[in-house]
Amino acid sequence: MTKQMRLSAWLVVSVLGAALLAGCAGNRPSGQDTSGTDLSTSYDKTDGQKRANIRLQLAVGYYRQGQMNVALDEIKQALQADPNFGEAYSMAALIYMDLGETRAAEENFARAMRLMPNDPELSNNYGWFLCQNGRAQQSIAYFETALRNKSYQSPGKALNNAGVCSLILKNNEAAENYFTQAFRYEPNNTGVNTNLARINYERGDFERAHFYIDRVIKADVLTTEVLWLGIKIERKRGDRSAEVSLVTQLRRRYPDSAEFASYQRGAFNE
């Protein structure tokens, strides 16, 4: 997986806690409701469910702070209070993913999906888990399941994930289709723009590649890969001024990087 793919992965996973937090603040998604709408209120919940909900909110907070072990302790307490709390299993799966405990993550995903079989965010998350663990081919079906759910409020995430996983499968045509759709939902997503720039560069459409990479550069997301890709695009376009500007930034920010070493060697086609 390239560094940009890893960046895309980090961006995707980093927003999952926020999505769960929104879900547990009174709008708990219901897997049993095929419409995707939860009509229950706090008055319909048992004391155990209310305690579990509070513990989940605490877990999400710790997760977002990177305190995975503390978050996991809160999840365990949530499940003691409500053993059938689907979102708690889903959150546990994300935590175990970050801890590198893939077997525990998969077990918790399976429990969550039994309790919330129609939850599109869960389908997206499980698809990403599969993709990150060498099962990219299987992952696509879960992204598509999420996208078919009309209640899904974040289709750009699943489309971006499907694009990244299609690149892993070396299916550039499918990847471009997913990223192009994701761009319509999230035109400022730097991962989507970078991947579209790379795909167009590799195809030889340097003006289109410039359109996308320029959006990333203007957003001031200047990673080594973005700068190096931008340099190669501007070189192909013949814009010497833009190329020199990007080279200057690469030299100043990342003088010891492999990308700057490649530039010094003139290895533009590696």
Considering the domain architecture, whether residues 173 and 67 belong to the same structural domain is answered as yes
pLDDT < 70 regions, the chain: 1-44
Considering the domain architecture, whether residues 12 and 83 belong to the same structural domain is answered as yes
Considering the domain architecture, whether residues 95 and 208 belong to the same structural domain is answered as no
Considering the domain architecture, whether residues 193 and 260 belong to the same structural domain is answered as yes
CATH value at residue 231: 1.25.40.10
Considering the domain architecture, whether residues 43 and 158 belong to the same structural domain is answered as yes
pLDDT at residue 93, rounded to an integer: 97
pLDDT at residue 16, rounded to an integer: 41
pLDDT at residue 11, rounded to an integer: 37
Range of the domain at 177: 3-186
pLDDT at residue 112, rounded to an integer: 97
Considering the domain architecture, whether residues 130 and 208 belong to the same structural domain is answered as no
The domain boundary residue, chosen from 140, 166, 186:
186
Considering the domain architecture, whether residues 170 and 235 belong to the same structural domain is answered as no
Considering the domain architecture, whether residues 238 and 209 belong to the same structural domain is answered as yes
CA pair distance 258, 261, nearest whole angstrom: 5
Considering the domain architecture, whether residues 168 and 203 belong to the same structural domain is answered as no
- Total of domains in the chain: 2
Considering the domain architecture, whether residues 15 and 67 belong to the same structural domain is answered as yes
The domain boundary residue, chosen from 186, 210, 242:
186
129 Cβ contact list (under 8 Å, min separation 6): 93, 97, 102, 105, 106, 109, 139
Considering the domain architecture, whether residues 208 and 141 belong to the same structural domain is answered as no
pLDDT at residue 41, rounded to an integer: 53
Considering the domain architecture, whether residues 179 and 260 belong to the same structural domain is answered as no
Q: Which residues of 22-58 are buried (b: 16+ CB within 10 A; e: fewer)?
A: ebbeeebbbbeeeebebeeeeeeeeeebebbbebbeb
